[in-house]
Amino acid sequence: MQKTILYALFLFLVTGLLFTACSREEAEPESVNKVEVELETKVTEEAAVEEDTSDYDDGTYSMDGSYVSPNGPETIGVTLMLEDDTITAVSIRKDATAEKSINYQSLFANGISALVVGKKLDEIGTFSSVNGSSLTPKAFQEALELIKAAAENEG
């Protein structure tokens, strides 16, 4: 009878140990998943902080610039699309009234895109001439500076 009691007690202890061991194995994956979730959260928060490093806000900006031609004052409108401080598109509104100015503004408008699209806004320097147009770039530069001021990221 003592043997039976000892045997039953032994089986009871072994069974208890097995249940304890099995429940610990199931608990480990949950804690691993919890650590993975915490790491993902931290990585996501750090990525969000890094995204705010742009100098300029994304968007479409339009400003006018002017210059004085031999025929008198002329203006152009400049529209830039910005994404991550990079110019993704540019368009020029030609407001010239004199025939020569109309031609030069058209030459400028046809050539400026190749010089600025795909470049960072702060990398755009001044142009002395674009497609033979030497006065229109001055108006472009004036409009560009106004766009930089309007697009400047405050935070």
CA dihedral 106, 112, 117, 120 (to 10 degrees): -140
Helices 99-116 and 136-151: angle between axes, nearest 10 degrees: 50
What integer pLDDT is reported at residue 154 of this predicted model?
A: 78
Architecture of domain 59-151: Alpha-Beta Complex (3.90)
The Cβ of residue 10 has, within 10 Å, a number of other Cβ atoms equal to 10
DSSP 28-86: HHHHHHHHHHHHHHHHHHHHHHHGGG-SB-SEEEEEEEEEEETTEEEEEEEEEEEETTE
Q: What is the pLDDT of residue 78?
A: 98
* Per-10-residue mean pLDDT, the chain, length 155: 62 59 53 55 54 85 97 97 98 96 97 98 95 97 98 84
